[in-house]
Structure 1
Amino acid sequence: MSMSAWKRAGVALTATAVVTGLAGCQDGDARSAAEAPAKAAAQGLEDVTKALTAAFEKTSAAKSAKVSMTMSMEGVGAGSGTVTMTGVQGWDPAALDITMKGSLLGAGNPDAPEQVRMIMRDNVMYMDLGAQAAAKMDGKRWMKIDMKAAADATGDKNLRKQMTGGLENMNQDPAQQLALLLDSPNLKHVGAEKVNGMETQHYKGTLTFEQMLKANKSSKLLSKEQYDELVANVKKTGLKGYDTEVWVTEDGYPARMDVGMTMAQGTVHMRADYTDYGAAKAAVRVPPAEDTVDLFKMLEEAGRTAEG
């Protein structure tokens, strides 16, 4: 694969990875009456910030959890549909072992599998292509996608950061989402609610696309031209912001997180339910080497054959 092709892949992955009171008053003290609502609102925001900061610290320390996620799209891109992802997720370091199912998985391809298992560890992604594909690849059913090795082969340090950083950002952990929500200018406490049988406190806020992009590590790897182009393209979609909600348990961990996006063409909604924080630290294991096919080595060999 040519250097320009590697660069395009790195930029695309980066952009993709770049796929969140009441107060009494006393007569005769008009100034206190006027200031009371503002003070109550400030105290309420302080309490919300304190609660979510504590949840962020506990979630960061847990480093893993079991996750069940649903993403639904309506009128966006190829159309409408849903996809579900269940499994385990780790952060610091990033790791993932999930099974994906749903109508969005095929994206209009009648030969697409009904489900796909994906494993990520050490910046390497593995995709289970299924028994049918394995029959055509000497029984090897796992496709290995090593972004670091591919970037190293180009000798371009910036490209390496883009490609590996983009892969890491595919694994959006709940601690990072809490950190983003804390930046919301309209953060508020909705109230007590029960989620999956657990008592929780419900919080919500909205973030603009620019705020989300600023918080995303991969955006720092884009050149000014690439950054401006990405912002311009997103603005064309009509995306105003990300409506983010979180339900925090009495133990201080997120039980559920919702992110909603509304664009001119349609809507996207993502819901993630989390359990067993800290229990999945050693649960992500990669497939044996003898069962894997390296995607980028295949592309290199195909390129050499074409050049020959």
Structure 2
Amino acid sequence: MSALLAAGLLAACGSGGGSTAAKGDQAAGGASPSVRAGATTGGAPTGAAPATGSGAPGTAPATAPGSTAAPIPGLAEKAPKELLLASATVMQQAGSAKLTMTGTSAEAGGTGAYSWKAPAAFELSLNTPEGPGKLLVTADQLYLGVDEETAAGFGGKHWLKLDTKSAGQGAPGGEDAGSLTAMLQTLNPAVQLTANALGGKLSKVGSEQVGGASTVHLRSELPVEALVAGMPGLSDQLKQLVTATLKKNRPSVTTDFWINGGGELVQQSSDNVGNGSKEPVTVGYTALGSAPQVTAPAAGDVMDFADMLK
């Protein structure tokens, strides 16, 4: 049961056909298929407007409407490494954001909130080909939301709990916990920006409009080991499991970043987020520093996966 639930959630934003976002038409300065679609979920922008080309020489990218970030002088002229590190600082200070996720198929997508400051917390509502699903992370616990039919078999409980500390130790649900941890870490903007700045093969694609703001579009190719090494707070066993999970797809991660004039990461698109799919996942970040608080489900509404097997 856990594997089926996790598979539906993990694959939701990577399902469907189409070319890999970080390659192909983006190499010419265009946006990925999901970006070009300009889709929205729940009123929040998930995609970019058509690319505007390289823009006027020396023109700094603008912050998004409603952003409180102060423009960083000379941001557009910074080398990719400096730009990524500057954005990592901004995102680390922000600490949280609302998220929108899109895959390459029209039915795949979701919205949620993420606080990446310790203790990290994450909430995501997803649409999958099998129906809606929910994922919630607090402290060292992962919760998979189940539908009413499944809940009836759990004594009316709507959440299935997995312990990330069990990952890599052969405990029930450990592999699922490792996959979900890999996805969570690759969606952490501070982790992604810093790891790619320090170890990625970097290039500057151009200037593009995303979410109502002019942004600098950067691309990075990073070995999986280098990304995992930059993930904080993981045990050695969990790092091994996350590395193995990501390398099931490919030995590296290609990620595109769109950064506005205040150094905010507006959007990222990655071809390897540990969800079992080689298709890209595009994530939009809004409401920086003011995302809704994520709390654990009520204890009486939770079924422990290990208990379920007894």
- TM-score interval for Structure 1 and Structure 2 normalised by the shorter chain: 0.5 to 0.7
Task: Answer whether contact 1:123 1:168 (CA < 8 A) is retained.
Answer: no
Q: Post-superposition shift, 1:92?
A: 2.0
Q: Which residue of 1 aligns with 2:253?
A: 242
Report the Cα offset of residue 166 of structure 1.
Answer: 6.9
Deviations 1:123-153 (A, max 9, x none): 11222212112223332222222344x58xx
**What secondary structure, in the 3-state scheme, does the structure 1 residue paired with 2:279 have?**
strand
* Matches of 1:203 and 1:243, distance apart in 2: 11
The SS at the match of 2:306 is helix
- Indicate the SS of the match to 1:268: coil
Decide whether the 8 Å contact of 1:209 with 1:242 is kept in 2: yes
The Cα shift of 1:215 comes to: 3.5
Please tell me the residue identity of whatever aligns with 2:117. Answer: D
- CA separation in 1, counterparts of 2:225 and 2:137? 28
The alignment's TM-score, normalised by the length of structure 2, stands at 0.61
- Structure 1 CA distance for aligned equivalents of residues 238 and 112 of structure 2: 35
Give SS of 1:134's match: helix
- Residues 245-284 of structure 1: pairs in structure 2 closer than 5 A: 245-260=256-271, 267-280=278-291, 283-284=293-294
2:81 to 27, 49, 74: 49
Question: Do the aligned partners of 1:162 and 1:221 also contact (CA within 8 Å) in 2?
Answer: no
Q: Give the Cα separation in 2 of the matches to 1:187 and 1:96.
A: 29
CA contact (8 A) 1:45 1:188 kept: no
Secondary structure of residue in 1 paired with 2:194: helix
Length-normalised TM-score, structure 1:
0.61
Cα 1:141–1:240 shift into 2, 3 Å? closer
Report the structure number with the largest CA radius of gyration. 1
Please provide the CA RMSD for this pair.
4.0
Task: String of CA shifts for 1:185-215, please: whole Å, max 9, x gaps.
Answer: 5312222211021121111121233433444
Are residue 174 (structure 1) and residue 189 (structure 2) matched?
Answer: yes
Partner of 1:196: 211
- Report the alpha carbon displacement of residue 61 of structure 1 after superposing the two structures with TM: 1.3
Answering whether residue 146 of structure 2 is matched by residue 136 of structure 1, we say no
Distance in 1 between residues matched to 2:288 and 2:196, nearest whole Å: 20
The Cα shift of 1:82 comes to 6.5
> Aligned match of 2:111 in 73, 76, 86?
86
Alignment-derived partner of residue 142 in structure 2: 125
1:290 paired with 2:300, answer: yes
Distance apart, 1:274 and its partner CA: 0.7
| Residue 207 (structure 1) aligns with | 222
- 8 Å CA contact 2:164, 2:178 repeated in 1: no
> CA separation in 1, counterparts of 2:237 and 2:191?
20
Q: What residue ranges of structure 2 are gaps of 5+ in the alignment?
A: 1-21, 23-75
The percentage of aligned residue pairs carrying the same residue is 26
Aligned pairs, number: 227
Secondary structure of 1:203's match?
strand
Deviations 1:246-286 (A, max 9, x none): 0111221111101136xxxx942111111011112x52122
Are 2:82 and 2:197, in contact at CA under 8 Å, matched by a contact in 1? Answer: no
Report the AA paired with residue 86 of structure 1.
T
State the secondary structure of the residue aligned to 1:69: strand
> Given that residues 64 and 88 in structure 1 are in contact (C-alpha distance below 8 angstroms), is that contact kept between their aligned partners in structure 2?
yes
> Which one has the bigger helix percentage?
1
Which of residues 236, 259, 277 is equivalent to 1:221? 236
